[in-house]
Amino acid sequence: MSNIINYSSWENKAPFGAIKINQDVRISVEADESYNLKNIKWIILKGDNKVGEVDLVRESKKYYQGEFNEFNESGLYFYYFEVEVDINGNNRKLFYGKNYNDGNVCEYSYENLNKYQITVHEDFEIPSWYKEGIMYNIFVDRFNNGNRNKKPSNPKENSFIYANWSDTPMYIRDKNDEIIRWDFYGGNLKGIIEKLPYLSKMGVSIIYLNPIFESPSNHKYNTGDYKKIDPMFGDEEILKELIEKANTKGINIILDGVFSHT
């Protein structure tokens, strides 16, 4: 059986994405009029507890809509749809949740139902220093080496160290195109401290650092330990020094935390 209803959380939910506590959410569901549709219910859960059940109202020939405004706690909410339909004189209840590949709806058995998710957060105010600041992004390994001898700190085993900062970057790969030796120029947190007067003179008020946590790569997006500064970049004391000295120049530091993948 083809879908009796069509819905996309990317297109048919307003507002899109996460919402604030007590914010209204409105959804719109398209129905296949070739079926004898009895009812479409929008079921909202928090954890395993049902917190809302909205009968969607027909607003046009094809579309049913509804609102829910009782997202009164922060956290994760989930939802799905119950569809009652008359098929050949028999009433059936069908369950629709999220397709595993995208935001579109898909029919499931109740036991295997993949529910949609809504993140609800407390209201907050974006700091003016962020909204009105001038941001400078730094890929730490490629920026500046602050060591007196200009040698990389704690080079990793089997890594490739460039002799000059003017060398063209390259990746050393195997026959399967996998990187077998990561390349490094030797930039570190001390190098950023050394350049703070330069950055301040340019009017920079925010430094956004690409990941600095422990990782085998030069870019650090495949973080291995979020609780350790990569030793090629420095340690917590050097990071504290960077933050303190940056703050004396009116510069805030933002760290890139890639917690969605590791």
- Quote the pTM value: 0.64
Using alpha carbons, select from 243, 247, 174, 252 the residue that is nearest to residue 208. 252
pLDDT per residue as tens digits for the range 197-254: 999 999 999 999 999 999 999 999 999 999 999 999 999 999 999 999 999 999 999 9
Task: Compute the average pLDDT of residues 19-41.
Answer: 92
pLDDT at residue number 262:
60
Q: Where are the alpha helices (DSSP H) in the chain?
A: 128-131, 189-194, 196-201, 236-248
pLDDT at residue number 1:
52
Using alpha carbons, select from 98, 92, 131 the residue that is nearest to residue 114. 98
Report all structural domains of the chain as residue ranges with CATH numbers, in order of start.
Answer: 5-121 (2.60.40.10), 128-255 (3.20.20.80)
pLDDT classification of 175: cutoffs 50, 70, 90: very high
pLDDT per residue as tens digits for the range 34-74: 788 899 999 999 998 999 999 999 988 789 999 999 999 99
Using alpha carbons, select from 231, 221, 253, 229 the residue that is nearest to residue 186. 231
Cis preceding-peptide flag for 152 (omega within 30 of 0): no
Do 97 and 140 touch, CB atoms closer than 8 A?
no
Task: Compute the average pLDDT of residues 87-96.
Answer: 88
pLDDT at residue number 187:
97
User: What's the CA gap between 255 and 262, in Å, rounded?
Assistant: 16
CA torsion through residues 168, 209, 126, 130, sign: negative
Q: Which distant-in-sequence residues (6+ apart) come within 8 Å of 260 by Cβ?
A: none
Task: Compute the average pLDDT of residues 141-162.
Answer: 94
Task: Compute the average pLDDT of residues 151-165.
Answer: 93
CB atoms within 10 A of CB 90: 7
User: What's the CA gap between 40 and 56, in Å, rounded?
Assistant: 6
